[in-house]
Amino acid sequence: MIHVLFVCLGNICRSPMAEAVFRHQVEQAGLSRQISVDSCGLGGWHAGEPPHQGTRKILTAKGVSHDTLRARQIVQQDFDQFDYIVCMDEENLAGLKRLAPNAQHISRLMDHAANTGEANVEDPYYTGRFEYVYDLVEAGCQGLLAKICAEHGLSGTAK
């Protein structure tokens, strides 16, 4: 099993959106038995809460299920248990590097997206632009899935 963890600051807007979108793509590709998905936040302020209503609303509109998502804070074991740790912005990246200075498996979601012109996924908790963030997240997840498939010799089934 390949374990993928998405990380943002609060785990209520961006990383749960990425978890839901990526899981949806993995299911569509018929790879649920090969790839597992989770998300967490660097902060614990919202632990136990469902995603922000802006995230829930756009996921529902796109037909992506999100009912079981609950926020949690990152723990040190996450760095050992996950094969890909994928964060949203440079602030998250700096926070993760402080927790695990030698980790080689941390990236930003936009590292995997072609042609968005963005290095970071902006925080809709502050900008309110959940639709734009969804588009970035979808593009990043698509690229990430292609990369993981290439690295592990996986080929998804038809959608």
Q: How far is CA 71 from the centre of its chain?
A: 13
CA distances from 3 to 57, 78, 158 (A): 27, 10, 22
Instruction: In whole angstroms, give the CA distance from residue 136 to residue 18.
Output: 10
Structure tokens at 101: 């200075």
Q: Footprint of ligand 4NP on residues 91-150 (CB under 6 A)? A: 123, 125
Question: Using the rule CB under 6 A, which residue among 10, 54, 140, 143 binds ligand 4NP?
Answer: 10
Q: Is residue 13 near ligand 4NP by the rule CB under 6 A? A: yes
Candidate segments 8-16, 23-31, 32-40, 141-149, binder of ligand 4NP by CB under 6 A: 8-16
Which CB atom, from 31 or from 121, has the smaller least distance to ligand 4NP? 121
For 5-33, letters b (16+ CB in 10 Å) and e give bbbbbbbbbbbbbbbbbbbbbbeebebee
CA-closest candidate to residue 142, choices 18, 6, 53: 18
CB of 114 to ligand 4NP, least distance (A): 23
Q: Is residue 45 near ligand 4NP by the rule CB under 6 A? A: yes
Residue of 13, 14, 89, 141 marked catalytic:
14
Structure tokens at 64: 């992506």
Which CB atom, from 9 or from 144, has the smaller least distance to ligand 4NP? 9
Question: Using the rule CB under 6 A, which residue among 12, 20, 35, 141 binds ligand 4NP?
Answer: 12
* Contact residues for ligand 4NP, defined by CB under 6 A: 8-14, 45, 123, 125
- Catalytic sites, residue numbers: 8, 14, 123
